[in-house]
Every structure is written in structure tokens, then in C-alpha cells.
Amino acid sequence: MQSNTNTIDDDVKVPSKAAAQVYHWASNVLDKLKRGITPPHLHVLELLDGHKVTQCLCVAMRLGVADQLNDGPKACADMARALDVNPDALYRVMRLLASKQVFKELPDRRFELTPAAAMLRTGVKGSLRAWAGLTEQTWGTWEYLIDSLRTGQPMFEKVFGMPIFDYYAKHPEKSELFDQAMAELSRPIAKAIVMSYAFSGIDRLVDVGGGDGSLLSVILRAHPRMKATLLEGPWAAERARRSIDAAGLGERCEVVAGDFFASVPAGGDAYLLKNVLHDWNDERALALLASCHRAMKQGARLLIVELIIPPGNEPFIGKIVDIQMLLATGGRERTKEEYEALLDQAGFRIRRAVPTAFPMSVIEAVRT
């Protein structure tokens, strides 16, 4: 029997597409069942309480609670002494998180890690610690959601005094957390992409806005004959170069600092945009696509890795990320039809959209 997970590269496990489909189907069925039997007022109250759980998760991350349990179960009072916090208050936060399967409460106010709690640990594969930190860092933008609804504009500048990418360029310590959070998300997604899309016939891949190179490193290791170019802004390019070198891929990958709205390196067999177009509204996305179009030779492929919002009322993570993009950058998640229209206007035609084991899809397009 085929395993329902596959391991590629550094022991990050990725479910097969079949297993992922079963999970999403079962999750939707259970969600509909729960909504069908939950009184409406309780359903709304649960939704309103969501931000409180988020804050408890972020506080647990900041304190390093999960790290306290690395060696096994521990009494809450002992953790409180080590963390210099009130033991009763810590217990109450951990009790709430345990009710959400983050930590498990044992007798005598002792706790142990669960698979979810393990993702809050420091320096372990699969950790989401930096992502929790980024969630906490940008939380203030959500207070101004009503202003985004009235204006259609992002709120990051209102909270932090400048647009998001200008802010990270001027605050390296904040941009490092941003890059770490993006890398945490990219590692399992990168493996799902390599498992789902063949990358055949690509001798040189150009990764446009490739962050710290996490995705590109996985692709290059899976395709030993491929060479690559990674384009990033000056504030991120040096970090990407260090990451690529540390992965032992420096001889196969050139890192270029530049502005992808102005120009993109020419000569690639394929151009990769992962979680880049969703940063921008349609006007700026078209400018970026035009830059790629100018650089691409005849027959080159454009590979767009994004969340594609499905029709209907089913839960989908992209619907949450869409509001985050509205608040942070003024960008958006898009439906398949919206991508078709956007790419058609930019001079591209979609050949196919390849789903992965995660909600991300690889949209393959060519110049028209």
C-alpha cells in the first residue's frame, strides 16, 4: 500500500495529493455537520472568540512555552518559574490552548507537547514559530479593517508609517522575521510543488521575488542539472545569497538584486512567481507580468504558484489570506477566472493549473 505521505529532502513530510483530497473532503463534511448542529448564536460566539485564541498562541510562542516541554511533560508551576510569569495565569492560557489540541493537560496541572504545540518550538523542522511572530507583529493592521473596507486601500502604512516593503527594507531585524516566516511556509509547500509539477525541459529557471531561496533550493536539489537565477530586492538579495550558498547551491544559482517592475533577467526557460502576484493589485500585477513578458524568449513558460479561490461557500484558507493582503499590501487572492483575465491582458495564455497536496496550485502559462 502506498504511504499517504512522501518525504523529499530534509525530512519535511508532505501528504500525497490523494491523502490531501481525502483530508479536505472529510474536513468540509465535518465542518458542515458541526455548523448544522451548532445553534447560530453559539456559532457566532465561536467566531468572535477566534482572536483570543490567536493571542494566546502568540504569547505562548513569545514566551517559549513549547521549548519548556522539549524533554517531556512538566508542571505548569515549574514552567512559570523558568519563564518568570504568574503560574495561575500561565495555567489558564495553557488550559485554553489544550482545549484546541495545542498542548495536552495531564493530572496535577502538568502539560506535554502535542503535534500542534511542537510547531511552536525553536529551531526545529516544520516550526511555525516565526509565522506566529509575524502574525503578532502585523496584528495592528486588523484594527483598521473598517478603513480598508471604506477605501479599498491597505492599512500597513497607517500603522507602521510606510508601505510594507519599504518598512522591511529600512528595518532589517523585522525583515528577517518576515523572511523566516515565509521560509517556514515555503519548506513543506516547496516539496508539494516538486511532487506535483515535473519542471521537465527547464535548463534555467528564473525565480522572480524568490525570497530567501527556500523553494528554489528544493527545486534545484530535485533537478541536479538545472541552473537558476533568483531575483530579489536589495534588502532580501544578500540574505538569499547566504541561504543558497549554505545549501551548497551557489555554483548553480545566481542571485541578482533588482526591481522586478523595471526588469527581469532574460534567458530563462521558465519564470517562477510564487506568492508574488498576490502582493499586488491588478495594475501593479500587470506591470510585473509585462516585465516578465519582455524577458521571456519564445517558448518559455511562466509558472505562478498561488492560492486559487474556488467558487462556492466552502472554507478555504485563501479567503482569509485575501483579507490579509488587502490590509498589508493592497493585493489580493484571485479566482481561476480572474487569473485567466489578468494573464490574457498581460499577453499570456494559461495552459493548465496543477493542484498540489497543499491549497497552492501551479499555474502554467505561455506567451500568446
Q: Is the pLDDT of residue 283 over 90?
A: yes
* Residue 11 confidence (pLDDT): 54
Taking only Cα atoms into account, the Rg of the chain, rounded to an integer number of angstroms, comes to: 22
- Report which secondary-structure segment, H or E, holds 325: helix 317-328
Cell 511556509, residue located = 185
Which sequence positions are flagged as catalytic?
Answer: 278
Asked whether this chain's domains 5-120 and 139-367 adopt the same fold, the reply is no
Cβ-contact 363, 357 below 8 angstroms: no
CB of 211 closer than 8 Å to CB of 180: no
**How would you class 169 by CB atoms within 10 Å of its CB: exposed for 0-12, middle for 13-18, buried for 19 or more?**
middle
Q: 146: pLDDT confidence band, cut at 50, 70 and 90?
A: very high
- CATH dotted code for 5-120: 1.10.10.10
pLDDT band at 364; cut points 50, 70, 90: very high
Domain boundaries, the chain: 5-120, 139-367
Predicted confidence band of residue 176 (pLDDT cuts 50, 70, 90): confident
pLDDT in tens, 94-106: 999 999 999 999 9
Return the pLDDT at 180: 86
> Is the pLDDT assigned to residue 332 strictly greater than 50?
yes
Class of domain 139-367: alpha beta
Q: Which pTM value belongs to this model?
A: 0.89
pLDDT band per the 50, 70, 90 thresholds, residue 14: confident
| Residue 2: predicted pLDDT | 30
